[in-house]
Chain A
Amino acid sequence: MRSALQRIYLAVGATALGITLQAGGLAAQDQRLARLDAATRAGVTVVIDSLRAGGLPTEPLIQKALEGASKGASADRIVMAVRALGRDLGLVHALLGPSATEAELVAGAAAVRGGVAGSDIAALARLQAGRGLLVPLSVLAELVARGVPVDSAAAAVTRVAQRGGGNADFNTLERGIEHDIEAGIPAGAAASVRAGVQGPPIGVPGAVNRGLRGRPARPVGRP
């Protein structure tokens, strides 16, 4: 079985091959890209066609390019953003496999952009096998966007998946954290508490009784 890293390399290789084969520019046929100037369109087209050659969806890339144009970004910045999104989509595609939907890839790429590790996404995919990844990935991306620390967000969503939770459970988790954050609870604490990840501070009472770690071995002798 190929490792995730090997699949990523294959995806990147396919992308490079696509650049060579598809330089003619199928994406140039998309009339919406006429809103880009010629230099931007040329750069974006190469990326889009290469992803198409790799079997990846291209609509998210077109939207990213249009977003950049809408916001008045420079050609370099737009092309960089499209490339970065293509890279993230390729990573998530390699992690989730060819059955992943466009929406799942977009949600996964949003999570990756927020700092979620590929290993967390792969773990979530294993837990959700046969149950769909769109909702948990979307919730994960939204939690990170809300400022929940990446580790806490990933742990919270993973915890729900481990419990065998359905889409309603993921949405309940997200709403609960949103409510807590609006109530002033720190985002990380909200995620931990809502997912039951934090729980009681296991070992804290004992740790306090025994002294803080970093304390030396206790020399003996009656006090």
Chain B
Amino acid sequence: MLGQQVVVDAGLIRIRTDSISGTTGVSLAPAVRYVHNGVTLAGTGTYAGFGTRGWSGEGVLTGSYIFPLGGRIRAEVSGLASATTSAFGPATQALRAGARIYRQSNTGGSWIGTDVERSTTGLSSGALGVYSVTVGGWRQLGPALVVLSMTPTSATDGSRFVDGLASARVAFRPFAVQLGAALRTWMAPRLSGTEAAIAGNVTVPLESGLALVAGGGAYLADVAQGLPSGRFLTLALRIGSGLAPAPRPPRAGLTGAPLPRAPATVSIGVTPEGLRQITVRAPDATSVEVKGDFTDWEAVPLLADGHGNWNGKFPLAVGVHRLNVRVDGGIWGAPSGLPAERDEFGVTSGVLVVE
């Protein structure tokens, strides 16, 4: 995977926390991301100004290296540095290091890992250490990438809790929707009790390099940095490179109703003479014909082998070919077993790749 992304979100924000009543301001959030050969480097910044009521800013730098361990197992080491500064209170800093092992399956995967974080809040209480173990998994379900995780966490001030997190990223072209929910169960010092938060955003591409982003919801407190929970609403214009491309017009043959198929399955083999033998499986047929760019698009009858197979030998060159099949004088269509597309003439054709 190789890519880079530079975007800036600029827009409006409304926020409310335990210590700040609802207030509206402007926000500016640049972000850069670079991915190359398993290395991901990212930086984000956020500034929010609330006029005479104050301002806040945050910067986060992350780095990650992911590499194969063999088979479907991969390992990741990562680091994070962040800082906040604000007119509402003291600055905070945090450093975090983590390691994860991933196991990938055909439709998703799982991971187990650990994180160590050290933070300072600018208060006299000194640095706080936070340790966590996380287990989780992800799965591609249709257009959605669903991620679930559970993270038991303890801190040097005696805090212990478990975060259960769920998120989903769904692409409903042209929209991209991201939803997340968190459930925190306190073990100590509160001994019991839960907190929950849910948030989401939707991205609407306007044209190349421009998108509208709307978000809202709630987030839990950051125990490590001593940051409060809160609720927010944002509406921003996203400007930058590497954004999801504007939606392409639907391609004929790939959307809507299934394409018509000839009631037969096709396969291809090589004859001793070096020709290609096209075999159509149609046990109940009384006649089968084929036409394509290897017959000058003239119908050629196939020969029955008495076992439900219909064969023909053709001098097919290596490459991409197009063909249609007709059974018992019916409609010409793409046989099963081959990709099909609606061609320029409004008819379904099979695409045959000869290796």
Contact = CB atoms under 8 A, between A and B. Distances in A.
A65 to B, nearest CB: 9
Interface in A59-74: 60, 63, 66-73
Contact of B140 (A73, A107, A189): A189
A200 B140 contact: no
Contact of A146 (B178, B248, B339): B339
A189 B221 contact: no
Chain A's interface size range is 35 or more
Interface in B19-36: 19-20, 27, 31, 35
A147 B200 CA distance: 29
B330 interface: no
A110 B86 contact: no
Interface string A121-160: 0000000000000110111011001110011000100010
Contacts of A137: 320
Interface string B79-90: 010001010111
Nearest to B74: A200
B162 interface: no
B66 A103 contact: no
Interface string B310-324: 000000011110100
Given A107-B320, A200-B102, A209 B151 contact: yes
Contact of A222 (B47, B201, B226): B226
A80 to B, nearest CB: 7
A189 B138 CA distance: 13
Contacts of B170: none
Contact of A66 (B44, B111, B297): B297
B165 A218 contact: no
Interface stretch (B270-278, B279-287, B301-309, B340-348): B340-348
B318 A142 contact: no
A62 B294 CA distance: 12
A216 B296 contact: no
A70 B223 contact: no
B232 A220 contact: no
A215 interface: yes
B62 A212 contact: no
Nearest to B117: A209
B80 to A, nearest CB: 7
Name the prevailing secondary structure of the B interface residues.
strand
Contacts of A215: 199, 215, 219, 232, 234
A211 B219 contact: yes
Given A67-B297, A141-B351, A223-B223, A205 B344 contact: no
B209 interface: no
Given A145-B340, A200-B111, A218-B84, A68 B251 contact: no
Given A63-B297, A208-B167, A73 B46 contact: no
Nearest to B232: A216
B201 A134 contact: no
B213 interface: yes
A223 B90 contact: no
A217 B48 contact: yes
Interface in B137-162: 138, 140, 142-143, 145, 147, 149, 151
B91 interface: yes
Contacts of A186: 140, 142-143
27 contacts: A70-B298, A73-B345, A77-B344, A84-B344, A103-B317, A106-B320, A107-B319, A138-B320, A141-B320, A186-B143, A199-B74, A200-B100, A201-B138, A203-B64, A208-B167, A209-B151, A210-B60, A211-B180, A212-B167, A212-B201, A214-B199, A215-B199, A218-B227, A218-B228, A219-B86, A220-B89, A223-B227
- In the A-B complex, the 7 residue pairs with the smallest Cβ-Cβ separation, listed nearest first, are A214-B215, A223-B221, A103-B319, A220-B89, A145-B339, A217-B46, A70-B297
Given A68-B345, A110-B320, A201-B138, 8 more contacts: A60-B293, A142-B339, A193-B104, A193-B106, A216-B232, A219-B17, A219-B230, A221-B20
Interface of B: 1, 9, 13, 15, 17-20, 27, 31, 35, 40, 42, 44, 46-48, 56-58, 60, 62, 64, 66, 74, 76, 78, 80, 84, 86, 88-92, 98, 100, 102, 104, 106-107, 109, 111, 113, 121, 134, 136, 138, 140, 142-143, 145, 147, 149, 151, 163, 165, 167, 178, 180, 182, 199-201, 213-215, 217, 219, 221-223, 225-230, 232, 234, 236, 245, 248, 251, 254, 291, 293, 296-298, 317-320, 322, 332, 339-341, 343-347, 349, 351, 353, 355
